[in-house]
Amino acid sequence: MTTEPPLDGDETEIDEVLAEYLDARAAGTPITLEDLCARHPGLASELRVLVPVLDSLEPTPGADATAGVGSSTLSALVNVLDDATGGDDALETTSPRYRIEQAIGQGGMGQVLRVHDRDLDRALAMKRSLEVAPGDERHARLVRLRFLMEARLTGGLEHPGIVPVHDVGALDDGTPFFTMRLVRGRDLRDVFGQLRNGDPDWTRERVLGLVARVCEAVAYAHDRGVVHRDLKPSNVMVGAFGEVYVMDWGLARRLGGPDVPASGSDESLPRVTLAGSVLGTPCYMPPEQARGHIDRVDFRSDVYSVGAMLYHLLAGFPPYLGPNMSTELRDDSAEAVVDRVRAGPPDPIERVARNAAPELVAITARAMAREP
C-alpha cells in the first residue's frame, strides 16, 4: 500500500534536476555531470548514481543509436518508447512472443499480468508500467526511467529467493514491460492467517523457517548495495514446493555507486522516491520512512520491516493494528497508522506474544528499535 502525505521539497527536487538534465540535452546544450553536481551540491551523491544510469538508458540526441550500446536492450527500448510517444507512425510491438492472459496484481509502480510465452510455450509474469496521463512528456519520461531502473536493478539480483527477470521490451502502445518467472503459491500474509487459524499444515517453527529465507534474500540484496524499502508479508511469495521469493522491488534503491560508499552515511544516501511521497506499507514501515526522512532510509530500515513481519508472526496481527482490527487497511485509515508509527512504538512484543520464545522476542524488539 502507498500513502501520500504532503510532498517534501527535498524529495521532489531530484525529479526536477533530472528533468533539467533531460531538457538541456534535448535542447542541444547538455550539462556535464560535474556541472550538474556543482549546481545542486545537496543532491550530488544521488546524481552521481542516477545520471550514469540515465545516460545508459537514453543516448545523447543526435548520436548514433547503436554506438556504444552493445547488447543493452534497455538503451534500445528507450528509443522505441520515444518513437512511440513522439512519432506519427504506428509502432509494432517489440515482443510479439507474449500473449496477455489476465491481470494478477497491481502495485505502485505497475501492473502484473499472466502471459503466455509463445516461443518457449510457458507461462510467465509480466510487469508493465502504469499509464501516465497525456500532456506531460517530461513526467512520462521520468516514469519510464524509473520503471526501467527497476528492471535493471531486479535483473542484477541473482538469488534463489528473488524472482529472475527474463526479458524487457515494449507493448504495441509503447508501454514498457519486463517478464519474470510466474510464481504459483500464496503470499506470506495468507500463511500468517492460516497459522493463526490453527491450520495443521503450518506450525510456528515452519513459518519461522520462511522468515529466515526472507532474511537470506534480503541479506544478499544488501550485500549488493540494494535496499528494498517495502518489505511486508504480501510481498513474499511461498511456492507450492516451499520456495520463498521476496517480490516487488519497485521501491528498491541501490545505495552504493560512484563516489557513494556501499554502507553510506546518513548524509550520502540517495533520497529518491516515486513522487516525493512517504511510500511503503504503514504498519511495516520504519519510523524514519514514515516521517519522510528518506535520507535516513538504508539497510537498517529493511531490518526494521523484517522485524515488523516477525512481530506479526508472533503476535498474530501486524504492529500498530490490534487483534480486533482488520489486517486489510482501508484507504482512509492508512494515514492514521502512519501517524501511530511516527508517534511511538507499537504495543511491546513481550506483551502481545506471551508464548513466544524469549530469543524471538528479543530479536523482534531489537530489529524494531526506534533508533536505527
Q: What DSSP state is assigned to residue 260?
A: B
Residue 8 to residues 60, 149, 264, 285, 291, Cα–Cα distance (Å): 31, 22, 22, 18, 10
**DSSP bridge partners of 176:** 170
User: Is 333 in contact with 281 (CB distance < 8 Å)?
Assistant: no
User: Is 245 in contact with 161 (CB distance < 8 Å)?
Assistant: yes
User: Is 43 in contact with 54 (CB distance < 8 Å)?
Assistant: no
Catalytic residue among 15, 187, 230, 295: 230
What nine digits make up the cell of 190? 495468507
* CA nearest neighbour of 32 among 42, 40, 21: 21
- A 10 A CB-CB count for 5 gives 14
The span from the CA of 113 to the CA of 100, in Å, is: 7
Q: Is 331 tagged catalytic?
A: no
Active site residues: 230
